[in-house]
Amino acid sequence: MKKILVTGGAGFLGAYLVKKLNSNKNNKVFVVDLLHNKGAIPYLNPKNRFIKGDIVNTKILKKIEKWKPDVIYHLAAQSGSEGAYDDPKNDLITNAYGTYLLGNLAKKIKCKKFIYTSTVAVYGSNEKIIKEKTKIQPDSIYGISKYSGELFLKQLLHGTSIKTYIFRVFNTYGPGENLNNLKKGMVSIFCSYVWKKKPIIVKGSINRFRNFTYIEDCAEILAKALNNKKLKKFEILNLTSSKKIKVKNLINEILKINNLKNYKIKVSKNTPGDSFGFHANNNYLRNKFPNFKFTNLNIGLKKYFKWINSLPKKNNLDNYHPFFKT
């Protein structure tokens, strides 16, 4: 029996990961989450131990220490480059200091594995193909805070027996992403405009580009990392498909799926700290997960809109969980 802690386990990515971990009866999962998404409550598995709280809270850390997990998945974070400018203090406390505290605890309880979800934002804006050894130059508070978390883990866990895997996640999307938050998630922002029949607002340029990763693919890779013998003691991996997608092509795909023509698109000023583009080489990831196939953008978007169209026609969509069913 493996005792597994998932911080942020009721969030967008966390909910998918916990569901996959629960599919193995040998896993005993413990979730810590602030429950910003109230819609997650009915879907919390009663078999999982759950604590509502913040990872920087001493009482929460003591409960984790008492439970003594074998594996820690650290997903809890303040995410999104634009939102970080509104509340930089909270971003730095949660993403940097919170990771420091959890890494220190992992060292104290001598857990076996620590798996951390970082972000493409650590690379900053980069029009060249990004590899794991590409120079780190975050140009946003969010990127700085997440890279600080990486550095803390390297410093704390180096020289210990704890296997440490850092996954730099690229632009996830899919069912369950908050359609009301227009400050993070390029795909969800554009899908929200279309679903609400509003003009699509593009910040910066329609020629900006990204890699997009379907949310279930991301969760599946993280779950498979648990028992992947190809992974070395310390790993950094770019978690994404390798396909470069321009904003204008993403929008065209969304409109095509919804049979929309001549849709109104507006271009506004770019958000500070929001990179013009990044495109990854994921050869190293594929080497470690050789049989894994990423979901095609068109298929992923169709699954996303199937979920979106199942939602009640309400203005407030903050609290709808990935596994919401009509």
Q: Could you tell me if residue 283 is inside a domain?
A: no
Q: Could you tell me if residue 225 is inside a domain?
A: yes
C-alpha span between 242 and 103 (Å, rounded): 30
Q: Could you tell me if residue 201 is inside a domain?
A: no
Burial label, 259 (beta-carbon count in 10 A; 0-12, 13-18, 19+): exposed
C-alpha span between 104 and 298 (Å, rounded): 42
CA nearest to 11, candidates 226, 153, 215, 295? 215
pTM for this one? 0.93
Determine the structural domain holding residue 78 and report its residue range.
2-172+212-239
CB 114 within 8 A of CB 163: yes
**Residue 175: CB partners within 8 Å, gap ≥ 6?**
215, 303, 304, 306, 307, 308, 322
Q: Could you tell me if residue 49 is inside a domain?
A: yes
What pLDDT shows up at residue 19? Answer: 93
172-209 pLDDT, tens digit per residue, is 999 988 887 777 788 999 999 998 899 999 988 888 88
At residue 89 the predicted structure's pLDDT band, cuts being 50, 70 and 90, is: confident
Q: Could you tell me if residue 112 is inside a domain?
A: yes
- The three state secondary structure string of the chain is CEEEEEECCCCHHHHHHHHHHHCCCCEEEEEEECCCCHHHHHHCCCCCEEEECCCCCHHHHHHHHHHCCCEEEECCCCCCHHHHHHCHHHHHHHHHHHHHHHHHHHHHHCCCEEEEEEEHHHHCCCCCEECCCCCCCCCCHHHHHHHHHHHHHHHHHCCCCCEEEEEEECCEECCCCCCCCCCCCHHHHHHHHHHCCCCEEEECCCCCEECCEEHHHHHHHHHHHHHCCCCCCEEEEEECCCCCEEHHHHHHHHHHHCCCCCCCEEEECCCCCCCCECEECCHHHHHHCCCCCCCCHHHHHHHHHHHHCCCCCCCCCCCCCCCCCC
Q: Could you tell me if residue 284 is inside a domain?
A: no
128-181 pLDDT, tens digit per residue, is 899 999 999 998 888 999 999 999 999 999 999 999 999 999 999 999 888 877
What pLDDT shows up at residue 227? Answer: 96
CA nearest to 116, candidates 163, 175, 66? 163
Q: Could you tell me if residue 229 is inside a domain?
A: yes
Point out the least confidently predicted range of 55-59, 61-65, 193-197, 231-235.
193-197
At residue 322 the predicted structure's pLDDT band, cuts being 50, 70 and 90, is: confident
Q: Could you tell me if residue 207 is inside a domain?
A: no
Mean pLDDT of 49-64: 94
Burial label, 156 (beta-carbon count in 10 A; 0-12, 13-18, 19+): buried
Q: Residue 226: which CATH number?
A: 3.40.50.720
Number of domains in the chain: 1
Mean pLDDT of 279-287: 93
CA nearest to 4, candidates 13, 167, 25? 25
